[in-house]
Amino acid sequence: MIAKTAIIDPGAKIAEDVTIGHYSIVGPEVEIGPGCEIGYHTVLEGPMKIGARNRIFHHAYVGGMPQDISFQGERSVVEIGDDNVIREYVTVHRGTMKQNCVTRIGNHNLIMAYAHIAHDCQIGNNCIIANAVNMAGHVIVEDFAALGGMVAIHQFVRIGKYSFIGGFTAITQDVLPFSLIAGERGTLRGVNKVGLQRRGFDAAQRGKIHKAMRYIMNREFLTSTAIEKILEDFGDDPDILEIVNFIRSSERGVTL
């Protein structure tokens, strides 16, 4: 299951049924769980823990040193959950002391070719990260978010769950849950209708989210006024409260 040309450090821990392709390198303190498939010419550096049934394709570089001038060689890690697909030439870098020294990828994510996940990023579950997405450090991507090709994300930005960002978009502020963002500099265009349909949100619930988002997009309202109106209409709805709490907790401001 391990190609003869692969180089495996004695300090690596690899489950018995893992497949590793030709000319790949697995460094010390790399732990690979059962059912994983590692492609050709792939480099895995530790410390790193990879869960079960992940597929890491050819020429990916996972676990590399962070591109952060403040990094002084402190111990930091990458943690990857289960059932992820990481395509060709993806790069994932370890964390720094600024955020618990961990870069984390959850479960059931598709990370397409040439994407970059920088130090201290936190990727949730069931996310789609398209080709050549570039994340700066400390980015948070919540569950079921979808990022189009060549999206560029500023450091410390938070991407809300079930949101969609169109391709070629620059994101410098937080992205609301359930929202649709598009345009060169990223503006709020409405609700991620197609994404919510695919994830099982019924028409009534999508309507509530749409109305709440219209309050936020109304240029005649201050954000505080929009929140008041949203809570008056849907204050007890958990999805609506998700939007309100997201705005209230945002440190960078939200994309409008």
Catalytic residue IDs: 119-120, 137
CA 82 to chain centre: 14
Query: Regarding beta strands 179-182 and 187-191, do their DSSP bridges make them parallel or antiparallel, or are they unpaired?
Result: antiparallel
For the four alpha carbons of 142, 144, 148 and 149, in that order, the dihedral sign comes to: positive
Rg value, the chain, Cα: 20
Of the candidates 21, 18, 29, 92, the one whose C-alpha atom is nearest the C-alpha of residue 52 is 18
- Cβ atoms of 59 and 87 closer than 8 Å: no
Of the candidates 52, 82, 48, the one whose C-alpha atom is nearest the C-alpha of residue 62 is 48
- Cβ atoms of 168 and 203 closer than 8 Å: no
- Cβ atoms of 62 and 90 closer than 8 Å: yes
For the four alpha carbons of 244, 206, 173 and 224, in that order, the dihedral sign comes to: negative
Tokens of 211: 């109305």
